[in-house]
Amino acid sequence: MQMTAAASPSRHRLWRRLLYATLGLVWIATAWWGATKPLPPGTRTQGALYTLPPSDVSLLTDITAADAYGHPVSNQAIFDETLKLVSQARQILVLDYYLFSDQHPVDDPPLRPLSAQLRDALISRHREVPQLQILFVTDPINELHGAAPSRDLQQLRSAGVNVVVTDLKPLRDANFMYSSLWRLTLSWWSDGHPGSGWLPNPRDAGTALVPFGAWAQLLNFKANHRELIIGDDGQGKLVGIVGSADPYDASSASSNVAARIVGPALEPLLASELAVARFSGWNGHFLWPTAALQPDPALPAAEAARVQVLTEGAIGTALLAHVRSAAPGDSIDIAMFCLADRPLIMALLDAARRGVHLRLILDPGKDGIGKHRSGLPNQPVASELVSASDGAIHVRWYRTHGEQFHTKLVMIRGPARMWLLTGSADLTRHAIEDYDLEADVAIEVGRDTPLAQQGLEYFTTLWENHAVPGIEYTADFPQYAEPGQARYWLYRFLEGTGWASF
Transcribe 254-309 into DSSP letters: SBEEEEEEESGGGHHHHHHHHHHHHHTT--------GGGGPPPPP--TTT-EEEEE
Look at residue 116 in the predicted model and tell me its pLDDT. Answer: 97
pLDDT at 371: 42
Work out whether strand 474-476 and strand 393-398 pair parallel, antiparallel, or are unpaired: antiparallel
In a domain, 188, yes or no: yes
Whether 35 maps to a domain, the answer reads no
Mean pLDDT by 10-residue block, N- to C-terminus, for the chain (502 residues)? 59 87 93 96 96 94 92 94 97 97 67 96 97 97 89 97 97 95 81 67 68 86 97 93 96 96 95 97 82 59 88 98 98 98 98 98 84 81 98 97 95 97 98 98 96 97 94 97 93 93 86
The reported pLDDT for the residue numbered 488 is 96
Pick from 202, 150, 200: which is nearest to 371 by CA? 202
**Both 428 and 323 in a single domain?**
yes
The domain total for the chain is 2
- Residue ending a domain, choose from 247, 279, 311: 279
Examine the domain organization and report whether 372 and 259 are in the same domain.
no
What number of CA atoms fall less than 13 Å from residue 76's CA on the CB side? 22
Residue 25 within a domain = no
Indicate the residue among 231, 247, 279 that finishes a domain: 279
Distances from the Cα of 9 to the Cαs of 4, 21, 54, 416, in angstroms? 9, 18, 79, 78
Q: What is the pLDDT of residue 368?
A: 74
Residues 76 and 208 in one domain: yes
Q: How many residues does the chain have?
A: 502
- Based on the domain organization, do 274 and 391 belong to the same domain? no
String of b and e for 453-464 (b: at least 16 CB within 10 Å)? eebbebbeebbe
Q: Is residue 261 located within the same domain as residue 305?
A: no
* CATH code, domain with 365: 3.30.870.10
Please list, residue by residue across 404-427, b when 16 or more beta carbons sit within 10 angstroms of its beta carbon and e when fewer do. Answer: bbbbbbbbbbeeebbbbbbbbbbb
Structural domain contains residue 285:
no
Give the per-residue pLDDT at 9. Answer: 74
122 with 241, same domain: the answer is: yes
| Domain span holding position 335 | 298-497
- Specify whether the CB–CB gap between 149 and 100 falls below 8 A: no
At 202 the pLDDT is 73
The C-alpha atoms of residue 495 and residue 502 are separated, in whole angstroms, by 7
Both 81 and 230 in a single domain?
Answer: yes
Whether 182 and 304 share a structural domain: no
Residues 97 and 185 in one domain: yes
- pLDDT at position 1: 43
Residue 336 lies in a domain: yes
Among residues 244, 279, 314, the one where a domain terminates is 279
192, 149 Cβ separation under 8 angstroms: no
- Asked whether residue 502 is domain-assigned, the answer is no
Whether 269 and 384 share a structural domain: no
My answer on whether 302 and 274 are in the same domain is no
Enter the DSSP assignment of 93: E
Which of helix, strand or coil describes residue 368?
A: coil
pLDDT score for 150: 92
Q: In degrees rounded to 5, what are phi and psi of residue 70?
A: 85, 5
Establish if 303 belongs to a structural domain: yes
Backbone angles phi, psi at 443, to 5 degrees: -130, 125
Same domain, residue pair 443 and 349: yes
Q: Look at residue 206 in the predicted model and tell me its pLDDT.
A: 56
Is residue 6 one of the residues assigned to a domain? no
